[in-house]
Amino acid sequence: MALFSDNLTMADVNLTDFFPNDVELNTTNSTVSPPKQSFAELQNSFYVASYVLTPIFLVIGLFGNGVTIFTMASKSFSNMTSRYILIALALSDTTLLLTQPFNKLFLRKLIGYDVRAMSDIGCKAFFHIFKTGKMTSSWLIVILCFERFVAVVFPFKTKTIITKKSILALIAIDYIFIVTYNGVWTFSSIIVDGTCKPDVTYPETKEKYRDFLLAGSSFYSLIPMIIMAILTPVIVIKLLLQRRKRKHLAGAAGDKADSETIRISAMLIGIVVAYVALVLPITIVHNLAFWRNVSAFDVNTRGFFILREVAQIFEQLNYSINFFLYVLCSSKFRGRVIELLGLSKCVERARAQSTSSKTRSTTANRTARPLENVESGASVSKNTNGEKETKTTQNHIRS
């Protein structure tokens, strides 16, 4: 399971055991060539999609993460300890989004050469930064999950356990450990034929690389997902139980605190669900390739190619959408973003127009009802008079 998008060493791998029906092996360079022209067209379609989607995700992600950093750094969120986690998460996601395009084949063809391969130091530094952005992002979500777990399950101990110092210490440990680990892992990032590759191995480094690959992949997705899968259900169940208990209490302050806790926890749940749903596919791709001892980005069977390309799109999406989850789940965050972007007047005008339209419709309904009553009253009086006149005439004839 790998954390990047280039080729593993394919020596001594019998691909016919793994993909016996779809592939055709080239014995000169051990690469896989698609057997049909339709498969080449499918590849071109995904490359065009990557050409379009990568810049879109980049622009959306940079905008959202930038606004998140400025919003969380404002005084409005000064009492919120989790804001440090969200700022660090936005920085890691931004780092990943900035480096991701350089791994794409279309950009290398567009520029004419591999920017990552300008020097050996540059090649190692690129993949060091790239892997660090991905792995720190995963563990920052774990830290956020832990912060919410303490706040919901141990509400009376939150202020003593979750403090500014403890949160900053966890963030620092996250970055120090992963930066150090990826710094050692750069032994396999080497330039080959003008291309910077992160997975070049030799007989003496093959086993070392596999150990780092397995551990790094576990740090990136497997261990964080396990922790989230344990803590998140506990948070949800505890929130539901607390909400039932507080319904019996008639305290406005308690209701306000309860709603605030629910909103923040809902934001966390959204982030966790998005992370698992969007990162799990690429994790499956890397695990499948790793346990079969093949390259995740060199085995081009039809099914594996589609799974890999779709998984990469999901992975990019994961680092671009957190801002929208914050906007949807937090009215306070939403209000601050509106102020920051200078949209307050536009929102006020929209609200004023909405209010005036509702007022007009209400007034129209109120004025329509008395007219209906007057008309119905007149008809009743007419009927009553008519009945009285008829009865009088009948009595006069009888007499």
The CA-atom distances, in angstroms, between 104 and each of 51, 108, 116, 312 are: 9, 7, 11, 11
pLDDT tens digit string along 329-367? 878 888 888 888 887 777 777 777 766 666 666 666 666
Angle, nearest 10°, between helix axes 83-99 and 322-329?
A: 150
Domain boundaries, the chain: 15-341, 343-399
4 close to 198: Cβ distance less than 8 angstroms:
yes
Cα 74 from Cα 230, distance rounded (Å): 33
Q: Give me the residues paired with residue 195 across strands.
A: 192
Q: pLDDT by residue for the chain (399 residues), tens digit each?
A: 444 444 444 344 333 333 333 333 343 344 444 445 587 888 888 888 888 999 999 999 999 999 999 999 988 888 888 899 999 999 999 999 999 888 887 888 888 888 999 999 999 999 999 999 999 999 999 999 999 899 888 988 888 999 999 999 999 999 999 999 999 999 989 998 888 888 788 888 888 988 888 898 889 988 999 999 999 889 888 888 877 777 666 554 445 555 666 777 777 788 888 888 888 888 888 778 777 766 666 666 788 888 888 888 898 899 999 999 888 887 888 888 888 888 777 777 777 776 666 666 666 666 655 545 544 454 444 454 555 444 444 544 444
pLDDT of residue 245: 76
CA 144 to chain CA centroid, Å, is 14
For 12, phi then psi, to 5°, come to 60, 30
Question: Hey, is 64 helix, strand or coil?
Answer: helix
CB atoms within 10 A of CB 242: 16
Q: What is the CATH number of domain 15-341?
A: 1.20.1070.10
